[in-house]
Amino acid sequence: MRGDRCKVIHFNGAVVLSVLRQGHAFFAFEHGTAAFSVDGKDHGTFEMLTQKPSPSLSQWERDETQSTSLLSMIDLLIATTNPHKLEEISAILTPLGVRAIGLGDVRLPESNTDGGTGVSPVGAAAASTLPEPIEDADTFEGNAAIKARYYAAHTGRPCLADDSGLEVDALNGAPGVRSARYAGAKGDRAARDTANNDKLLRELANVPKAKRTARFVCAMCLAAPDGAILATSRGVFEGVITDTPRGDNGFGYDPLLELPDGRTSAELPPEEKNARSHRGDATRAIASTLRDLISES
């Protein structure tokens, strides 16, 4: 490693060793090591190199002033209780050393009785018990900011939120920001998804396929507990609305958005969906900003 740029960086109490070598960045963390290959200004590829604890930093070449601690994973709150969404985001953030945790995994600080250590006792109220914020913005970006600021303020930790939905050109952009509430149905997530899909197909019953162009949109916002916006991003996933739902991978309108290759979003394997989807694009852009924030901290 002689001649490489070696740096220890700190973020939210975590210690991260990065080694820069000929267009590659290597990261050591508690669950293994990863490599990031730079393909362009804002693009690159992560590859897990090991799945076991990495060596202590004392085994890496470093400046004498650098820390000898192991890298700990950074916990980042994601404003969701949707396990599918959490899985998609986790798949992209985990190689960065960022552990994505949902609202059900975080206890509210108001319930703490631990003397200020930041660890809530068993039985403290989860953030998922909070009343949902009123998402009354007329853009995906506005609603993502509302959610990120709300949960960051209530939990006392940075929060990443997204607002995503479907825009159909033949319906003047509907369902848009009302995608999750399009049919006004009650019940569990699966029941609401079915009702929304049924309504969309009824609305497009007399529209030819060539005019059923549509796209998924995902806007993301990372907010600090004081309300400061740390990062934003946007991703899109283009296609057309098919006549009948197809596929079992995904949720929401995934079975209805047909891609140029003839498959629906719900027919893509999870890895391919993460690589192509609106949420994947938005998460990768946020991940790029996270790297910058970590490096500057």
- Catalytic amino acids? 163
Q: Which residues, other chains included, contact 228 with Cβ-Cβ below 8 Å and sequence gap of 6+?
A: none
What is the spatial distance between Cα 241 and Cα 200, in angstroms, rounded to a whole number? 9
Report the alpha-carbon distance of residue 239 to residue 287 in Å, rounded. Answer: 25
Closest by CA position to 212, among listed 193, 244, 239: 239
Interacting residues of 272 by C-beta distance below 8 A, sequence separation 6+: none
98-101, strands of its sheet edge to edge: 98-101, 74-78, 159-168, 213-223, 229-241, 257-258
Distance CA 203, CA 149 (A): 35
What interhelical angle do 278-296 and 83-93 show, nearest 10?
50
SS3 state of residue 216: strand
CA distances, 19 to each of 3, 37, 92, 288 (Å): 10, 12, 20, 17
